[in-house]
């Protein structure tokens, strides 16, 4: 007697669990029971688990009966002729979806020739062991698994045609690659997933060589000519959003060009792009500080003083403007209403991104790199037939990482480009390298893929032959334009008077604890002091009680809050953070007394 559970809830018992489970499976294959149902008999616990809840991971397998797969040549022919579809096979019970639990009861063969009468299922293809992104790596079976992981991770960050209705979408922080292409070397997953409808990269001519050391440590070199022709060009979309919020007391935000007497009014120049409705017009070229949506808000606190002053001037300026370092062109303006019925304005700003030094590119084999130099086409090396690479990749990236697939893709890409066909590079099921080499030879090239090349600047022939080919490169979303940051002077925090933190706030770059140690270790005491005086202040100190005194600049008088005016008060230079700490000591009930001494 075994207990039966449906979606982990007890429903009853059965006398013969094995027969019961068998019956359910047969009915499911027949189509009498939904194929969403999975059943698992746990022999140890003697219980039957029926599952039809959502969120289970399931995978398809070919059903095997008496050591022979149910999928026959007939099915395959019908599939080829498009007479039946995948769903028909599932409905016929030829293919079955199993969840993790039911799989425990089954014996799955990897290949058809390994089938024995004990086997219940057969794998559809070796490729199913890989995930979606990993299956997109061509010749993946030539790689170390870590590289395959890195390769699939990189692909997720690639820029491409993310949605074909992008002109009418209001996406946050998205990129769009111009002229995205379908890869010459593809896998079956590219066909399955309609990759040509949303490609995310470009086929580039890649040479594996060094170029003046500008591709050391994974850097890559790009051809300026290729960039000018549109290689790696993308657009970055960023929205500006404003909402007319309602406040207590019937007050409301107003989207308009702010009046000059509004509190916090910027300058007339900052509002110059706004139309009468307070919103910017499309195709306006905006730079940092420019107002995109003009807005005023009611005053935060109604103090008694302000109530008597001019009523209109109490409104606050709260426009949306471009932050530090941002620029672009207004692309699209949307006026709508949000869930609460407030007026909502969204403005999409577009910014064209031409590849520059520091932008990140990668092949599909975890060989990511950063642009180290952009070389004019005239200075790029060229082959005997006049081919100039789009990208130069460093040979040092290969030995330690052992990404053989990277090399094979270059070879395959070369063959594909020359022969004018797509090459199937599906992992475990690719066009063999041998055949590609032979074809390359018949196309009039050296079988190994190497070519004699010439120095673009001097015209001299290089002593070494250079491996050059065609491969699919991806531009990744990490671009310098989004990350570059520097500061000399800038905003400080209110509490500590130290510089703000982070790029968005135009913050300082911290000289941290360990960096401090290097100064101390060098004995560069004065330099250290200078580095740390971002928050230095001059503080008057009462010499008799040692507490921080008060300096009245109006009366030009200093006095001590404890001892009064008739005491010696000296001014000292300390960091504001220390003054703050002394204040905290006082709040603890500890009396921090400063004893001053002449420094000299």
Partner 1 sequence: MADTISEYESKLPLHIIKEVRDNAPKGLSDAKLRKVMETIYEEYKGARVHPGEAVGLIAAESIGEPGTQMTLNTFHFAGVAEMNVTLGLPRIIEILDGRKDLENPMMEIYLKKPYATGKKIEELRHLALQIKETRLKDISTELTINIADLTIELKLNKEKMREIDVTNSKVIDAISKQLKGYTIRDNKDSLTLKSRSKEDTFNEAYKAKEKVKDVTIKGIKGIRQVLPVKRDEEFVIITSGSNLADVLQLEEVDAYRTTTNNIFEIEQVLGIEAARQTIVNEITKVIEDQGLNVDVRHIMLVADTMCVSGTVKGITRYGVVSEKSSVLARASFETPIKHIINAALVGEVDNLDSVVENVMVNQPVPIGTGLPSLAVKAPQKSKEK
Catalytic residues: 218
* Residue 540 in the binding site for partner 1 (CB under 8 A): no
* Residue 378 in the binding site for partner 1 (CB under 8 A): no
HSE of 342 in the Cβ direction (CA atoms, 13 Å)?
16
* Residue 581 in the binding site for partner 1 (CB under 8 A): yes
* Residue 214 in the binding site for partner 1 (CB under 8 A): no
Name which of 382 and 576 has its Cβ closer to partner 1.
Answer: 576
* Residue 598 in the binding site for partner 1 (CB under 8 A): yes
Instruction: State both tokens at 518.
Output: 């290097």
* Residue 596 in the binding site for partner 1 (CB under 8 A): no
Name which of 505 and 579 has its Cβ closer to partner 1.
Answer: 579
* Residue 585 in the binding site for partner 1 (CB under 8 A): yes
Name which of 40 and 576 has its Cβ closer to partner 1.
Answer: 576
DSSP readout, 274-328? B-TTSBBPTT-EE-TT-EEE-EEE--SS--HHHHHS-SGGGPEE--EE--TT--E
The tokens 């531009």 sit on which residue? 475
Chosen residue from 34, 164, 566, 595 binding partner 1 by CB under 8 A:
595
Which candidate, 252, 253, 295, 264, places its Cα nearest to that of 277? 295
Chosen residue from 191, 515, 573, 583 binding partner 1 by CB under 8 A:
573
* Residue 510 in the binding site for partner 1 (CB under 8 A): no
* Residue 538 in the binding site for partner 1 (CB under 8 A): no
Using DSSP bridges, classify how beta strands 569-575 and 343-353 pair: parallel, antiparallel or unpaired: unpaired
* Residue 522 in the binding site for partner 1 (CB under 8 A): yes
- Could you tell me where the DSSP H helices lie in 390-450? 404-419, 433-442
Name which of 187 and 558 has its Cβ closer to partner 1.
Answer: 558
* Residue 590 in the binding site for partner 1 (CB under 8 A): yes
Chosen residue from 10, 179, 462, 591 binding partner 1 by CB under 8 A:
591
* Residue 488 in the binding site for partner 1 (CB under 8 A): no
* Residue 520 in the binding site for partner 1 (CB under 8 A): yes
Site string for partner 1, 549-568 (x = CB under 8 A): -------------------x
CB of 520 to partner 1, least distance (A): 5
Instruction: State both tokens at 484.
Output: 């570059």
HSE of 444 in the Cβ direction (CA atoms, 13 Å)?
4
CB of 498 to partner 1, least distance (A): 11
Cα distances (Å, whole numbers) of residue 27 to 30, 92, 93, 139, 149: 5, 11, 10, 41, 40
The tokens 């008694």 sit on which residue? 304
Instruction: State both tokens at 570.
Output: 């000296």
Q: How far apart are CA 297 and CA 589, in angstroms?
A: 42
CB of 507 to partner 1, least distance (A): 20
* Residue 574 in the binding site for partner 1 (CB under 8 A): yes
In the region spanning residues 108 to 167, those forming contacts with partner 1, defined by CB under 8 A, are none
* Residue 526 in the binding site for partner 1 (CB under 8 A): yes
3-state secondary structure of 202: strand
CA dihedral 539, 540, 542, 548 (to 10 degrees): -40
Task: Answer for the pair 409, 425: CB distance below 8 angstroms, yes or no.
Answer: yes
Give the binding site for partner 1 (CB under 8 A): 516-517, 520-526, 528-529, 532-533, 535-536, 568, 573-575, 577-578, 581, 585, 588-591, 595, 598, 600
């Amino acid at each position: 007697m075994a207990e039966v559970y449906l979606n982990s809830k007890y429903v009853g018992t059965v006398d013969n669990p094995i027969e019961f489970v068998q019956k359910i499976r047969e009915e499911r294959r027949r189509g009498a029971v939904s194929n969403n149902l999975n059943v698992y008999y746990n022999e140890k616990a003697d219980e039957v688990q029926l599952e039809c809840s959502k969120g289970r991971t399931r995978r398809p397998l070919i059903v095997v009966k008496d050591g022979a797969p149910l999928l026959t040549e007939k099915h395959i022919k019908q599939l080829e002729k498009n007479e039946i579809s995948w769903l028909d096979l599932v409905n016929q019970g030829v293919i079955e979806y199993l969840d993790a639990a039911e799989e425990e009861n089954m014996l799955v063969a990897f290949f058809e020739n390994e089938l024995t009468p004990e086997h219940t299922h057969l794998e559809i293809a070796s490729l199913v062991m890989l995930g979606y992104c990993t299956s997109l790596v061509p010749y993946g079976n030539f790689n170390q698994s870590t590289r395959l992981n890195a390769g699939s991770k990189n692909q997720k960050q690639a820029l491409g045609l993310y949605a074909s209705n992008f002109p009418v979408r209001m996406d946050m922080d998205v990129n769009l690659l111009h002229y995205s292409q379908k890869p010459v070397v593809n896998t079956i997953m590219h066909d399955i997933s309609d990759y040509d409808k949303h490609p995310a990269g470009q086929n580039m001519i890649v040479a594996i060589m060094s170029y003046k050391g500008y591709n050391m440590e994974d850097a890559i070199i790009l051809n300026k000519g290729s960039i000018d022709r549109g290689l790696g060009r993308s657009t970055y979309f960023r929205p500006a959003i404003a909402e007319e919020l309602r406040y207590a007391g019937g007050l409301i935000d107003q989207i308009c060009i702010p009046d000059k007497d509004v509190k916090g009014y910027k300058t007339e120049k900052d509002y110059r792009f706004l139309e009468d409705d307070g919103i910017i017009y499309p195709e306006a070229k905006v730079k940092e500080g420019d107002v995109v949506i003009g807005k005023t808000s009611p005053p935060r606190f109604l103090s008694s003083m302000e109530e008597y002053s001019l009523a209109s001037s109490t409104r606050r300026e709260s426009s949306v403007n471009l932050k530090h370092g941002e620029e672009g062109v207004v692309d699209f303006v949307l006026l709508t209403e949000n869930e609460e019925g407030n007026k909502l304005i969204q403005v999409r700003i577009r910014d064209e991104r031409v590849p520059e030094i520091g932008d990140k590119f990668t092949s599909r084999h975890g060989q990511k790199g950063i642009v180290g130099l952009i070389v004019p086409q005239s200075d790029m090396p060229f082959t005997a037939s006049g081919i100039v690479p789009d990208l130069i990749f460093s040979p040092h990236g290969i030995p330690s990482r052992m990404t053989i697939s990277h090399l094979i893709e270059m070879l395959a890409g070369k063959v594909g480009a020359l022969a004018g066909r797509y090459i199937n590079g599906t992992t475990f099921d690719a066009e063999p390298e041998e055949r590609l080499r032979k074809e390359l030879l018949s196309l009039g090239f050296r079988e190994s893929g190497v070519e004699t090349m010439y120095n673009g600047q001097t015209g001299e022939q290089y002593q070494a032959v250079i491996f050059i080919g065609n491969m699919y490169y991806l531009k990744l979303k990490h671009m310098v334009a989004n990350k570059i940051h520097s500061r000399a002077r800038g905003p400080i925090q209110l509490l500590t008077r130290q510089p703000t933190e982070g790029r968005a706030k135009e913050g300082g770059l911290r000289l941290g604890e360990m960096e401090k140690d290097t100064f101390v270790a060098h004995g560069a005491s004065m330099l250290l002091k200078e580095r740390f005086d971002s928050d230095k202040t001059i503080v008057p100190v009462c010499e008799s009680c040692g507490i921080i005194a008060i300096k009245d600049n109006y009366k030009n008088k200093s006095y001590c809050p404890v001892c009064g005016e008739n005491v010696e008060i000296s001014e000292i230079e300390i960091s504001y953070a220390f003054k703050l700490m002394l204040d905290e000591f006082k709040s603890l009930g500890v009396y921090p007394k400063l004893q001053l001494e002449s420094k000299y």
